[in-house]
Amino acid sequence: MRLHSTRTPDDRKSFRQAMVANLAPDGGLYAPELPRFHDWDALLALPWPDLAVELVQRLIGDEFEAHALQAAVREAFSFPVPLRSIEADRWCLELHAGPTLAFKDFGARLLARLLRLHDGDGAVRTILTATSGDTGAAVAQAFWRVPGMRAVVLYPAGRVSSQQERQFATLGGNVQALAVAGSFDDCQALVKACFADPDLSRRHCLTSANSINIARILAQLCYYPLAVAQLRQQGELRAPLICVPSGNFGNLCAALYAQALGLPLAGLAAACNANTTVPEYLDGQPYRPRPSIATLSNAMDVGAPSNWERIDHLLGGQAGAQAALRWGWVSDAETRAEILRLYRLGHLVDPHAAVASAVLGRVQRPGEVGVFLATAHPAKFPEELEALTGMKLALPPELAQLADRPLLSQPLAMSVAALRAVLDGGPAICH
């Protein structure tokens, strides 16, 4: 795979170089130059995860040893990805059966394995990530006990759910959880300052696990073909419209890359909550990043989505994006109403999936088949869902087993010097 910076087209990189580069030196993101496949009927007949293995091999197979790459994909995607029929002409692709019960497992688990293949033995790499919840959990679990890797997770103290905190702060070993006295934006600013420090970055081989990392996007583009393949297995041969619940827009970017590879789709829709930077832009207003607003679908509370630059680059700006996409946003009240509507049809979904389902209902055209993505397990939102539906949610074993583990996070002052001291302090690397 060849990639180039969204800002400097002749800054070209291989996949491996882009995976460890974080941002391009000009501040842009690395965007892949994708081939178009012409044998989708054959590809879509492959079982999972063979389909993902084949796609990844075609895209980056020239940069890794074949058997190791195959094994990496199979291990990363070792959980089921069911497609559920919801109502007439509407389906849901459930992406939340991984170890941390959110779709971030796809990207984090493949990234961990590809970095390990890239580094081989003897390297020492620090994965530095800021989280408002799901990313930290997926990254911590994916990198836990991986030789040569240390994962440092920054999160806003007291502002993530205690369940989320347990998913990344009870592991210990090569996973360091830092509770920052500040907001998620403060955590992200600290992380950015470290990446902007060339000496520190070099000293620790600092690597981003946020969705600017192309390896995460590569992992995610594999499940869009899986949705189409499963529809075909069910006898549904129409190319679907797929609706993607979006925050940083990595997931929608992956969907657009799958479409660029030639995957037959009727269209793609961006679904947002009250953080409407992108829907407003698609409505024709200027692109105006802004601070985020807290909502029920909190993993989508992003006011300055980092992957929009890749999408705008791919689609050629505002007019191109308007022509290529459908879009919509819903309030928390509408999200709750959609959770309740689906519950009465016999389906319990989390707030992020409900946003996607509600927007799908608005943008789907007569005669079309639609798919929305369920990105988190409903049991991650027990208070909200129990209050709405009156039912008692069982805690899945992945979460129940964390309940009485001690929290191992350390407090961190809101200062770059304090973070630098932690990074230079304990290596905490597995060998």
Ligand X SMILES: *Cc1c(COP(=O)(O)O)cnc(C)c1O
**Residues lying near ligand X in the complex (CB under 6 A):** 102, 104, 134, 211, 245-251, 299-300, 352, 375-376
Q: 90 or 377, CB closer to ligand X?
A: 377
Count CB-CB contacts under 10 A for residue 392: 8
Q: 175 or 376, CB closer to ligand X?
A: 376
72: enclosing H helix or E strand? helix 66-76
Q: Where are the beta strands (DSSP E) in 175-254?
A: 175-180, 206-208, 241-245
State the amino acid at position 62 in one-letter form: D
Q: Which residues contact 283 (CB under 8 A, 6 or more apart)?
A: none
Q: 136 or 148, CB closer to ligand X?
A: 136
**Residues 216, 139: Cα–Cα separation, whole Å:** 11
Kindly state the smallest distance separating residue 89's Cβ from ligand X, in Å.
23
Count CA within 13 A, CB hemisphere, residue 326.
18
Kindly state the smallest distance separating residue 162's Cβ from ligand X, in Å.
17
Q: 50 or 384, CB closer to ligand X?
A: 384
Kindly state the smallest distance separating residue 420's Cβ from ligand X, in Å.
28
Kindly state the smallest distance separating residue 109's Cβ from ligand X, in Å.
14
Q: 64 or 155, CB closer to ligand X?
A: 155
Q: 177 or 299, CB closer to ligand X?
A: 299
Kindly state the smallest distance separating residue 285's Cβ from ligand X, in Å.
20
**Residues 298, 191: Cα–Cα separation, whole Å:** 20
Q: 246 or 276, CB closer to ligand X?
A: 246
Q: DSSP states of 133-155 as a string? A: SHHHHHHHHHHTT-TTEEEEEEE
Q: 64 or 106, CB closer to ligand X?
A: 106
Crossing angle of helices 223-233 and 250-260, rounded to 10°: 60
Q: 86 or 419, CB closer to ligand X?
A: 86
Kindly state the smallest distance separating residue 165's Cβ from ligand X, in Å.
15
Task: Kindly state the DSSP code that residue 331 receives in the 8-state scheme.
Answer: -
**Residues 23, 260: Cα–Cα separation, whole Å:** 23
Place of tokens 């492959």: 46
Crossing angle of helices 50-60 and 223-233, rounded to 10°: 140
Kindly state the smallest distance separating residue 415's Cβ from ligand X, in Å.
27
Kindly state the smallest distance separating residue 164's Cβ from ligand X, in Å.
10
Sign of CA dihedral 202, 204, 205, 211: negative
Residues across the chain: 431
Kindly state the smallest distance separating residue 182's Cβ from ligand X, in Å.
20
Q: Is residue 24 classed as helix, strand or coil in its secondary structure?
A: coil
